Amino acid sequence: MDQGLSSREACRRVGINLRTGKRWRNGRNASGKDKARPPVLAALPASGPSRYLREADRIYIADRLREKASIREIAAELGRSPSTVSREVHRNGTPLRGDQQRIAYRPHAAQARADARRPRPKRGKIGQNPELRDFIQDHLDRKWSPEQICQALRDTFPERPEMHVVHETVYQALYIQGRGELRRELAAALRSGRARRKPHRQANCRQPRFSTPMVMISERPAEAEDRAVPGHWEGDLIIGKDGASAIGTLVERATRYVLLLHLPNGRTAEHVRDALVETVQTLPGHLARSLTWDQGAEMAAHGAFTIATGVPVYFCDPASPWQRGSNENTNGLLRQYFPKGTDLSAHGPEHLAAVAAELNGRPRKTLGWETPAERLHKLLAA
């Protein structure tokens, strides 16, 4: 029963009658020929400091409140934080019938409330609220991230705190065994697609793939580093099954706006160069200032790209994906649409444009919950 089970379930698991279990817990008085029996686990007086308030502490709080002592005075006398005493009075006190702003604190009733709240396991906030659960499930089906969903809850229900959760609550509802608050298959709707959580590990070191002359990221203009000026892009490829197909990705650093490159004939340096030239030439001049890439072999023709477009290419240091953080994050988002181990050549340019439009229509926390399309539209209008 200390684990939160009912008396009936505890007796069933132990294999005894319900009345026997009650007699074990509470003891019995002498009756006729039956002698008195003490409880099996006699309650021992508490000794030493405790993390939780005891009944004696609650009686002391009630006495001092009647004497008009302040919360800080009571906390100092009990050796507790003032917030602990204040929270205890408001959580376990009873509002007066005529004046809801005033609280009557009755220690034994407060102890009963605290004891009733303590047993585990407890249902989580999502499991207790069907409206909240349905809202989260609907947006997970639409491939929103838990953090985006939590922000949308605050925007949609600003005056209803029972509809507000943090994103960790959503992850626990999906991953922690025994919760069962969200459908198990919704974990596949997360961007990672993992059925269980994966611990973070250090990235494996990668060797450079080519040694042609490169301009390193340390020489990139400062305006690209602080994201103050639009037009600086980060690029990479996402690779399909057996490395036979690929899609190019471009992300603008200031707005996180995404462009996808169609590579139907392969991912050689010439194919990537031609796709980049075709895409970059569609951009206004002030939105094509630089391109940052890793040291992949597909950028062996970066000199010809710069000559054709006038856009300089800067290369990241080996094994440093954080130097293209926006692009790495975007590639993770795109794996919702283009899973690993699939043939990416099956996606035509129209589908790539539709995926990019959907991604550019999602709100981003880093943009103050604006979408990349909205932020880019503001820059173009300005």
CATH number at residue 340: 3.30.420.10
pLDDT at 94 > cutoff 90? no
Q: Between these two residues, 208 and 81, which has the higher pLDDT value?
A: 81
* Tens digit of each residue's pLDDT (9 = 90 or more) over 147-195: 999 999 999 999 999 999 999 888 888 776 545 567 666 666 676 666 6
Residue 204 is assigned to a structural domain of this protein = no
The pLDDT tens digits for 357-381 are 999 999 999 999 999 999 998 888 8
Please count the structural domains in the chain: 3
203 — pLDDT class (breaks 50, 70, 90) = very low
In the predicted structure, residue 308 carries a pLDDT above the cut 60: yes
Angle at 341 between CA 337 and CA 346, to 5 degrees: 60
Q: Does the residue 42 lie in any domain?
A: no
Give the end of a domain, one of 173, 189, 205: 189
Residue 289 has pLDDT above 90, yes or no: yes
Per-residue pLDDT of 27-50, as tens digits, reads 877 777 777 777 776 555 555 567
241 shares a domain with 93: no
Same domain membership, residue 270 and residue 221: yes
- Decide if 285 is inside a domain: yes
The pTM score is 0.50
Confidence of residue 199 (pLDDT cuts 50, 70, 90): low
Q: Are 148 and 282 within one domain?
A: no
**64 occurs within a structural domain:** yes
Q: Which amino acid is at 83?
A: S
Q: Is the dihedral of CA 213, 218, 219, 223 positive or negative?
A: positive
Domain stop point among 172, 189, 206: 189
For 208, residues 6+ apart whose C-beta sits below 8 A from its C-beta are 295, 318
Domain span holding position 228: 217-381
334 domain-assigned: yes
Mean of pLDDT over the chain = 86
Measured between alpha carbons, how far is 356 from 257 in angstroms, rounded to an integer?
Answer: 9
| Mean local confidence (pLDDT), 209-232 | 84
Average pLDDT over residues 317-335: 92
Q: Is 294 helix (H, G, I), strand (E, B) or coil?
A: coil
CA atoms lying within 13 Å on the CB side of residue 20 = 7
* 229 and 325 fall within a common domain: yes
Same-domain pairing of 101 and 146: no
Examine the domain organization and report whether 355 and 229 are in the same domain.
yes
Whether residues 87 and 71 share a domain: the answer is: yes
Whole-number pLDDT of residue 277:
95
Does residue 95 carry a pLDDT above 70? yes
- Residue 210 is predicted with a pLDDT of 61
Question: Does 225 share its domain with 321?
Answer: yes
Residue that terminates a domain, selected from 70, 94, 117: 117
Residue 198, in any domain of the structure: no
The strand pairing partners of 370, in sequence order, are 364
> Is the domain of 153 the same as that of 294?
no
Distance CA 57, CA 119 (A): 20
Q: Do residue 98 and residue 154 come from a single domain?
A: no
Asked whether residue 108 falls in the same domain as residue 132, the answer is no
